Structure formats: C-alpha cells, structure tokens
Structure 1
C-alpha cells in the first residue's frame, strides 16, 4: 500500500467570479486511485461563502482525477460541492447542471497577465513600457523578460504530466500577457481541464512571487489589450453535415441570444468588448470570415469545407466560467433543429 497525497480542488461561493480552493488528505491505495475509489470529504463552507457558521458543513464530491506532477504520489482531485447529504448539488455548484455532450468539442484559449507588485510583469513602476506591437509571440528579454517563459514552460510540462490536454502557449499582445490553450471532448471534460490548468498555474507562480491576473481589462480604458478566453466549438453535426443553410440558422440563433451569452461570458466584459482591440461591441452580434473583430470568427477552412468544422466565439473573457460558457453555447445550438438540414444535406 502507498500513501497518496490527494489534493481536493473546488470552486468557492464568491461572486461574480469563484476562487479555486484546495486541501489535502492522505489515503492509502495499492496504485494510483481511480475516481470510484475517492471518498466524499467535508469542509467548512462558512469560510468559502458557501454556508453560514451555524450550519457550515459542505461536501466535496470527486468528479475527475489527475496525477499531481509537483508531488510524489500526488493526485489532483477536481470536485463538485454538494449539500451535507452528499447527493444534492450545492447552489454554487454550476457543473452539476450544465448541458453536456461528448460529441461537442471545445477549445478554450485562456489569456491572462502575470502581475508583480500590483503591475503587469515587465511594466515600469510608473507609466508604461513601449507600445504594443512586438510582444505578441515575441522572443527576447525586451519582449518577454527573464522569468515569464520559465513559468509558462514549467506550467506546460505540469499540465502534460497531469494528463491535461494542453495544446499550446504563446506570448500575447500586451507586455506581461500570455495564453494557453486547452481542448476537450465534452463540455464538462473541457471545462474541468481549464479549471485544473488554472489551478496549476496559480499554484506554480507562488514560488516566483507572481500573481495571475484574470480580469478581462486590468489596465482599464487604455490602449492596452484586455484578456479573453475565446471558445472554439463544434458538434458532430457541424463537423460531419454542416451546410450553409444550417450555419446561417445557427448564426441567427446566436444573434437572437446575444444577451444570454454576454450574461455568462464573464464580468466587466463591457470594458473589453468595445469594438477596439479586435473585439466586437458587447451589445451587438456579428460574424465574419477570419474576422478577429467579429463576435464569432468563421475560419476559412470552415467555408472551404462546405460550411463544416468549428467556429470561434471571441466574446468569452478570461474570467469566464468555462462550465457556463460551454453550456450556453450548447443551449443556443440546441435551438436549431438539425432534421431539416439532414434532409437537405442528403
């Protein structure tokens, strides 16, 4: 038997953006534990905005497990928060109620800023560095500094070692801003892995004395980019059948539901979605082929492949909850019946 360090990880009850929480318990197993072997575990919800002090019990229910690359015999355990009965989802448990479909594929592009002493990493104590232009996918000390790449490379290695489907990294448009990409089949799986990748990044930067800033427009009304979490999505029908008529009906549904999407795409998005810096205005819907300023960017490959493939919703922001984002995308897609389009395609 081996003693395993199980890091139970969950989302607290803070609004509008929950915080990641984690605590460790030690359990013995013959080998790396399966999800079914992991027990429920209680915690004090009064300390996480999830219960009153007079009735503070909440319960963690494991929903996915990954090897912990930073610990010997460690496991990262993603959890849902349950009521004391261990069966009823807690009101803050958004994962339990989202739409899920293994045939729906999601690719999230998570942007963020490194912050040190209250300023983006690499910014002078006063004022601003050289204007945007050379930082995106940049190389060299003047563009990326001396520590950022070390962190993102270590984070990449940790995600891959944990079995997270990490697909890439790059320096972003603003100094101190970076991005990583996560792909998953099924909304819950993709969202679980984004949250776990966020956890690994935030835990990793503790030792560097650096914070991660996810706010979508941390530099306010300045000529500096905000941060998004673009959502690339497709369903089996979109990949295998598609068609121009179906695409146009889908875009009509996304346009009709623009407010429902904005409501769950992350707080303060009006600060980021201004029509500048490659964003569409928050209260207007548009789509365009290879248009980074549209609400939904349509890849050239999608058009060339008879309107089949994936689309990119550029409106979700870096603070957005991937559970809510994926669920809303699926809700809108579900409004467009595929039956008539199947007949047309045949």
Structure 2
C-alpha cells in the first residue's frame, strides 16, 4: 500500500468567471486501482472562495470524475461538485444544471493566450509595439511564428492530458501570435465538460514552473487581433440518426429565439469578441451557414449532404473563458425543447 495523493479540484464562487481551486487529500491505496468510489466526500472553507459566509463556512466536495496525474508520483485529480452541508447543490454548482444525457455528444475547442509579464509570448517588450499582422501564426511552424517555450508547454500539456485519459482530438497554434488551441470530445453531457476543466487545471499548473500565465479572456487585446473562443460542437441521438430539414429549421428558429439567453451563458465580455469582424456573427444577430466561419452556427457540408440534415453542428459563439457546464446546459435545454416535438 502507498500513500495516494488525491487532488480535489472545484469551481469557486467568483463571478462572472469562476476560478479553479484545489487541495490534496492522502489515502492509502495502489496506483492503477483507485476508483471514484475510493474518493470520499470532503469539505472546505467556503468563506475563502466566495461560496459561504464566515459564520457558516462549511461547503462539501462531491467527487464526480477521477483522472491519473502524470505530473505527481502516486497521484490522481478528482473533479468535484460543490454541495451545501445538507447535500443539495451549491448555487455556484453549474454542473448540477446539466441533464444527464448519454446521447449528447460534445466537442469543445479551447483557445487561449500564453503570456509573460502581461504580454503574449513573442510580442515586443515595448507596450506600444505589436508583432507582425496575423497571417502566418495559425498552425505556424518556426521560432518567429511560435517561439520555443510555447511549443514546449503545449506539447507537455498534451502528454499530461493523454496520461490522464482526457480525450484530446488535436492542438494547434492559433491565428494571433501567442495564441493556441486544444480540442476535447466526449460522449455524454458531462464528459467533455469535466475533461475541459481538468485540462485547464493541468495547463495552469504546468505553466507555474515556466513563470507563464494563461490568459483565458475572450478579447485580451482590442484591435485587429482575433479573440479567443471555445466553439461548441454538439449532437444528439436524434440529430445524428434522424435529423431532417424540418427539424433543423425549427432548431435554428429556437436558437434565434433564445439568442440572448445563449449569449448570457456563453461567457462574459463576448461583445468585445463577437463584432462580426473576426471570428463569427455580431453579438446582436443570429445566423447559420454551411461551412461559414462568420455565422453564429456553422453547419458542416456533411450535415446537409443529400438533404439529410443530420450529424453535428458547431455553435461558434461560446468564448474562451466560458464555463463549459453552463454552455452545454444552455445548448441542451434548447435542443431538448425542439426534439420533444419530434418524439
């Protein structure tokens, strides 16, 4: 038997963007044999995380997913939900708002900047100077385009995520200098969201040793620079297997009807990013288009092939600092409302 490190991580109560928190619990066990059932409920001081008053500060941690931790010896990461002492979900517990749907498949594309001393890696030290315009950085190769430390970080992060069992589907340098992306796919309404939060945690912790910060903000630099999104690709059993043009058109009508509700769930400051000039449609409008990067929802060619209107869709509006749980909860609610008419 060895001492096993369980790093419980959770979302705090800060708004509009929650922070990741973590602390380590030690149990007796054997690497490779520890399961979620071996992780007990735990507690923390909610008055220090904007989740409780000091006069009644106890909050509970409910383990919901476990991942091997390749950066520590004999260690796991335990994704946790925050509960009130009576066992009910804490108001900050966004994971508890998602319906448990194994047929909902989700792919999330996380963009972010790597920064040091307040500026992206590779940007000039002079705060009034900028790198060469966007063009050669996206999927770029070579020191002048991607540098050296950034590449080292993203490769090491990828290996840590693979070791943890996170289902990465790809990584790449993004359109702006110092900007990167990774993609995660999961079957089931919780899966990709849990994995995304753990992947974010691993990236933040990894960057500590390099003296690098991760900038999640969706538009850290105003001007002719791409912001950062977290495009949400999604499908349901009905969308993949049945579909149909009538269903699709009603779904798009419903997405347009709930445009404001979706934007509210997709991350703060999105008005800075969704200008209609760079990534997608303007924040005050809704549109869909086939292979159209300027649309709110991009429809793959495969979706409309032979007029089938089935497969998956990509909502391009969620932003890089959004809460995956809130994003998926909002998408799921809209899709379920439409599909109820067809079942």
TM-score by length of 1: 0.96
Q: Distance in 2 between matches of 1:186 and 1:27?
A: 30
The equivalent residue for 1:7 is 7
User: Gaps (5+ residues) in structure 2?
Assistant: none
Deviation (angstroms), 1:30: 4.5
Question: Is the 2:62–2:82 contact (alpha carbons within 8 Å) kept by the matching residues of 1?
Answer: yes
The equivalent residue for 2:212 is 210
Out of 172, 182, 185, the residue aligned to residue 183 of structure 1 is 185
- What is the 5 A alignment of 1:1-346? 1-30=1-30, 32-85=33-86, 87-126=87-126, 127-220=129-222, 222-304=223-305, 306-337=308-339, 340=342
Q: What secondary structure sits across from 1:79 in the alignment?
A: strand
Question: Is the 1:158–1:200 contact (alpha carbons within 8 Å) kept by the matching residues of 2?
Answer: yes
Q: Deviations over 1:167-226 (max 9, x none)?
A: 100000000000000001112111000000000000000011000000000002x00000
Deviation (angstroms), 1:279: 1.5
Q: Distance in 1 between matches of 2:340 and 2:8?
A: 40
Question: Is the 1:290–1:297 contact (alpha carbons within 8 Å) kept by the matching residues of 2?
Answer: yes
Tell me: CA distance 1:163–1:337, structure 2 relative to 1, closer, same or farther (3 Å).
closer
User: Gaps (5+ residues) in structure 1?
Assistant: none
Q: Distance in 2 between matches of 1:290 and 1:97?
A: 31
Q: Deviations over 1:14-47 (max 9, x none)?
A: 0000000000111002553211121111111111
Q: What secondary structure sits across from 1:103 in the alignment?
A: coil
Q: Give aligned pairs, total.
A: 339
Deviation (angstroms), 1:338: 5.3
Deviation (angstroms), 1:53: 1.5
Q: What secondary structure sits across from 1:208 in the alignment?
A: coil
Q: Distance in 1 between matches of 2:60 and 2:321?
A: 25
TM-score by length of 2: 0.97
Question: Is the 1:182–1:190 contact (alpha carbons within 8 Å) kept by the matching residues of 2?
Answer: yes
Q: Distance in 1 between matches of 2:299 and 2:44?
A: 45
Tell me: CA distance 1:93–1:261, structure 2 relative to 1, closer, same or farther (3 Å).
same
Name whichever of 205-214 and 25-34 sits farther off: 25-34
Please provide the CA RMSD for this pair.
1.1
Deviation (angstroms), 1:339: 5.4
Q: Deviations over 1:36-91 (max 9, x none)?
A: 12111111111111111121111111011010111111010000111123x11111
Question: Is the 1:100–1:327 contact (alpha carbons within 8 Å) kept by the matching residues of 2?
Answer: no
